[in-house]
Copies of this chain bind each other. A is one copy, B any other.
Amino acid sequence: MQTMADECACEVLEVVPLVMRAIRSEMRSHRTPELSVPQFRALAFLGRHEGASLSDVAEHVGLTPPSMSKMVEGLVVRDLVVRQVSPSDRRRVTLTLTARGKSILESAHQGTVAHLTEKLAALSPEERATIVQAMQALRRAFASAKEANTGIVR
Which residues does A use to contact B, with CB under 8 Å?
A: 1-2, 4-23, 25, 37, 41, 62, 109, 112-114, 116-117, 119-123, 125, 127-143, 150-154
Indicate if the CB atoms of B17 and A41 lie closer than 8 Å.
yes
Copies of this chain, complex-wide, total 2
User: Which of A41, A112, A132, A141 has the most C-beta atoms of chain B within 10 angstroms of its own C-beta?
Assistant: A141
Known contacts being A5-B120, A122-B153, A152-B14, is A134 close to B142, with CB within 8 Å? Answer: no
A23 to B13 Cα, complex, angstroms: 7
Indicate if the CB atoms of A16 and B14 lie closer than 8 Å.
no
What B residues does A153 contact at CB under 8 A?
122
What B residues does A121 contact at CB under 8 A?
5
Indicate if the CB atoms of B122 and A141 lie closer than 8 Å.
yes
Indicate if the CB atoms of A20 and B18 lie closer than 8 Å.
no
- For residue A4, give the distance in angstroms from its CB to the closest CB of chain B: 5
Indicate if the CB atoms of B131 and A22 lie closer than 8 Å.
no
Q: Which residue of B lies closest to A137 (CB)?
A: B127
User: Which of A37, A62, A125, A131 has the most C-beta atoms of chain B within 10 angstroms of its own C-beta?
Assistant: A131
